Every structure is written in structure tokens, then in C-alpha cells.
Amino acid sequence: MSDKHVYLSAAWRDEALRRLQSELPPEKMNNITTSMSNIYKNCPGGADMFLFIECIDGKVTRVETGTTGAPDGEFKITGDYETFARISRAELGSQKALFTGKLKLKGNMAKALKLASLADRINKVLSQIPTEY
């Protein structure tokens, strides 16, 4: 059996929640309450997928993945599967992906600016998950 989890699978999702909760205590998340829905376009197989992360008072409370019914988040980030995959593999910075238009952000930009460093922390944790893309 492979040690790697398939990206965005149920097993990957559970591992993501476990790692985020253990490695990012509320104080490291600035005790923030927010949520983010990432929409993955052009996934392998053709369907769109989503990754939803919710944080309440700094604690990561929900990580959800799936193909339909993405929960509404305070922020919505849309991009190609490959762009998200490159970010998760630490091959591409999320800021650069946004600044070059590879990712499209929807939500209050002024608030998003305050959360940029937190999103980076989340991405760093997720990039450590042994993943099969």
C-alpha cells in the first residue's frame, strides 16, 4: 500500500485536518474566524473539485473536499487543478499565482490581505502531506 494519499481524496482530507489542527494552534492562526473555498478547474477526469477550509477562533474546524456542493466560504479561490497542485507541491507560491492571474480570488480583498500569511502557513502544512497527484 502506498504511503501517499491521493490529492483531495477522503484520506488526504482527513490527514489535512489532522495536520492543520496539530501544527497550527489557534494562536498561530491569530485566533481568526474565516473560511475559504478553493475551486479546482480542469481536474484529472474532467470534473471540478473543491477544497473547503474553515477556521473558528483560530482552530481549523473543517476540511472538506468533493466534486459538488462546495460550501460557501468567506473567500473563494478559483484556478486550475494543476495550479493548486503546484502550490501544494511548493513549486509555486500562492501569492505569485494570484498576482499572475493563475488564481482568481473572490471576497473582501482588504480582509484577504490580513490573511495572506495565514494562507501561507496552511499551504506549508498541506505541502508536507505525502500526496499523489
Query: By CB under 8 A, which span of 34-42, 58-66, 93-101, 123-131 interacts with another protein?
Result: 93-101
State yes or no: residue 104 binds another protein (CB under 8 A): yes
Q: Which of 106, 121, 125, 129 binds another protein (CB under 8 A)?
A: 106
Query: In terms of CB distance, is 98 or 129 closer to another protein?
Result: 98
C-alpha cell at 51: 477544497
Query: In terms of CB distance, is 58 or 79 closer to another protein?
Result: 79
Instruction: Say if residues 41 and 78 touch (Cβ distance below 8 Å).
Output: yes
CA dist 9 and 34 (Å) reads 23
- What distance lies between CA 16 and its chain's CA centroid? 9
Query: In terms of CB distance, is 21 or 78 closer to another protein?
Result: 78
CA dist 39 and 48 (Å) reads 7
Q: Coil, strand, or helix at residue 87?
A: helix
State yes or no: residue 78 binds another protein (CB under 8 A): yes
CA dist 76 and 87 (Å) reads 16
State yes or no: residue 110 binds another protein (CB under 8 A): yes
Interface residues with another protein (CB under 8 A) are 78-79, 97-106, 108-111, 113-114
